Amino acid sequence: MQNDGQSEGASTGQIPVEDGYVFRTLLDKMTDGVIVAQDYRFIFANPAMHRMLGYAHDEFIGIGFDAVVAPEFLGIWNERFRQRIGEGEEPLNTYEVRFLCKGGQDSLPVELNANRVTFGGRRAVLCIIRDISRRRYIEQALRDSELRFRGTFEQAAVGIAVLDLDGRWEMVNGKLCGILGYSEDELRNRTFQDITHPDDLQTDLQYVEQLLRGDISNYSMEKRYLHKDGQAAWARLTVSLLYDTENQPSHFIAVIEDIHNQRMAQTALADSELRHRLLMHNLHAGILICAPDARILYANPEASRMLRLDAGTMAGLKVADIGCEFADEHGNALSADTDLVRRVLMSGREMKDLVISITHPDVTERGWVLVHAYPEFDTSSRFKQIVVMLIDITDRQRLEAELEADRKLKAAALDAMTAHVAVLDKRGQIVETNASWRKFALRSQYAGDPTFLGVNYLDALSRVGGPDQSLATQACEGILSVMLGRSPLFQMDYPCHCPAERQWFSLKVTPMDPQRERVLVSHENITAIKLAEEAIRILANTDALTGLPNRRHFFETAEEEFARAQRYETPLAVLMVDLDNFKSFNDQYGHAGGDAVLRSFALVLSGLLRDSDSAGRIGGEEFAVILPHTSLDGACAFAERLMERIAANPPDIDGQPAPYTLSVGVSEMSPASKDFSALLILADKALYRAKQSGRNRLVVLTGGDSTHPGSNAA
């Protein structure tokens, strides 16, 4: 900026220019501040600079650096000023400092671009100043939001992850690392495809394609992940899609619940039941027929197997002579005089259900048999023979021990499950419950037996009335569909709230055997998952400052209401609302005061909305309201009530009322309205005209492009 003529500009604070009108208009209209400094004082500033710092023109011109530059930046400011008005290379052009507002109580973060110029024949510094306080506020708000999200993310009782659209893990919490066995860094170097079981991958990818096409909003499935140790780990996966500011898909968010133990317990239980049935089906009995002198006359193949002698070798021998040791169930050895055949001969009575052990000379393990022995007489009532039936219970003894261990294991497995589990027979009667079920019954102060044994679950569901009746009916039909073989399984989520606590459960019904003689009904508490999903949904749809729907969520709701109004030919009105002179309000009260005004306005606006109405923050101090089933007159009446409420209820800032006014644009849907965006444009034009007309008023603009003056609250 060369000035080789008079130095009048330096004394008046104005910059002389060759084409003065254009240059002066440019300076006056700039939103960025422009200042010229010389002799360690400011000798020129444009109107934007005055507005930023709260000075009148005459107050600012001639003021020293120490009155404007914050103390912590004054030293570097003076040093760079000296460098610029001196000789040699200039310092960096662009950097950030803080300026003091008028009075010195408030300060403003700014970004400046400084250059060396000649002014009045001497060197000066020209600076272009940009207010970056809003950017600083947004950066801090983003950091705070990230901290809140991180807290929820890391403390969740289920695995949570954020993945990019290629399936790469970008964020994972500690719970997920524990489920899959990988560290956070190891997961970030993989995709979900890398650790998904091959048999489940195609189904997962099909869901992902549907999600990206917009066919579904989320999906849930049970799948197997490949644990770091190489084993398959069952999990219940719920996936939603996140969108960026342009409403384009950006990331997936996944909630992963560990159900591996539950699935393994179900599989082990089914395998155990099948094994036991097969063992019982293949049991046989051995038969020995002995003469009155106790010699063996006949032995069947099963007896030969039990006694490890063929029938020919045993013939003619007494039981005591076949080389095996026999003992009763208490371990007392049976002698030749006390073996079963002798006892029958001596007593002449039937002996039954006696447990005897058999030990073979070449086998260390004892065999066990259940013995029935009875005498047969001829027509003269003389002993003819004695029949001994040996039922091999070696496997049964072992099986009984296994069954007892299995029963204990089954009970322990059921009791270890966090879900409330009941086993129903084919009539719907409860035959078994787990500890979680019983504890829930006691906690709910159930008056009857907390085990519910003998209670018909289907009858109990059919007697449910009130608001839960439809859910009970759905559950009853789902259980019957599994019992009757119409469905392989049934699952539904349902709320179970009480005054002190909000809860959700997932009901799952699965058959326990192929004949469906038993079905397992589990109620898994999924409150943590639902709360996590709800928190994510709120974060995605709500404006953090005002609590109103954000721009994206409002537009989704508005598009639905517009389509509904078109379909049913009902009236629909829309308002665009702007807080007048909000920037000057921010300058006066600071951004904290501005935030208080926005929150106060949102509270007043929400209090006027009906259940069917919706409002959203479109950006900055601009809001939109959609009023279904509302004519143009009704919308104007709503706008007037809103303006009256705002005027009557100014927010309190630092103990003083801080009044403000609104400009409102109103429009209504007409046959010419093609879509909601066109309708909103009309309302926005009306808002613009209201602001042009002096603010603090409402203007109506319809499809015919005719402006209807509204009320003026001034």
DSSP 3-state of 30: coil
Residue 511: strand pairing partners: 519
Mutual angle of helices 394-416 and 260-281, in 10-degree steps: 160
Residue 306 near residue 287 (C-beta atoms within 8 A): no
Please give the span between the terminal C-alpha atoms of the chain, in angstroms, as a whole number.
45
DSSP 3-state of 387: strand
Active site residue 376: no
Q: Which helix (H) or strand (E) holds 207?
A: helix 198-213
Residue 661 near residue 651 (C-beta atoms within 8 A): no
Instruction: Give the full edge-to-edge strand order of the sheet including 41-45.
Output: 41-45, 33-38, 122-131, 107-119, 94-100
Dihedral-angle region of residue 112 (phi above 0 means left; psi in -120 to 50 means alpha; beta otherwise): beta
Residue 85 near residue 116 (C-beta atoms within 8 A): yes
* Cβ neighbours of residue 162 closer than 8 Å, sequence gap 6 or more: 169, 170, 171, 172, 242, 251, 252, 253, 254
Residue 614 near residue 626 (C-beta atoms within 8 A): yes
Query: Would you mind telling me the total number of residues written for the chain in this entry?
Result: 714
Catalytic position from the list 621, 640, 644, 668: 621
* Cβ neighbours of residue 499 closer than 8 Å, sequence gap 6 or more: none
Distance CA 562, CA 558 (A): 6
Residue 55 near residue 79 (C-beta atoms within 8 A): no
Distance CA 207, CA 221 (A): 9
Q: Which helix (H) or strand (E) holds 102?
A: none
* Cβ neighbours of residue 461 closer than 8 Å, sequence gap 6 or more: 472, 473, 475, 476, 479
163 exposure class (CB count in 10 Å sphere: 0-12, 13-18, 19+):
buried
DSSP 3-state of 62: coil
- The strand ranges marked E within 260-394 are 285-290, 296-299, 325-328, 351-359, 367-377, 383-392
Q: DSSP letter at 533? A: H
Distances (CA, A) of 232 to 163, 186, 260, 264: 21, 18, 9, 11
Distance CA 217, CA 470 (A): 25
Distance CA 362, CA 370 (A): 22
Distance CA 594, CA 639 (A): 22
Distances (CA, A) of 391 to 313, 355, 371: 21, 10, 6
Distance CA 280, CA 336 (A): 33
* Cβ neighbours of residue 217 closer than 8 Å, sequence gap 6 or more: 211, 240, 241
| Active site residues per annotation | 621
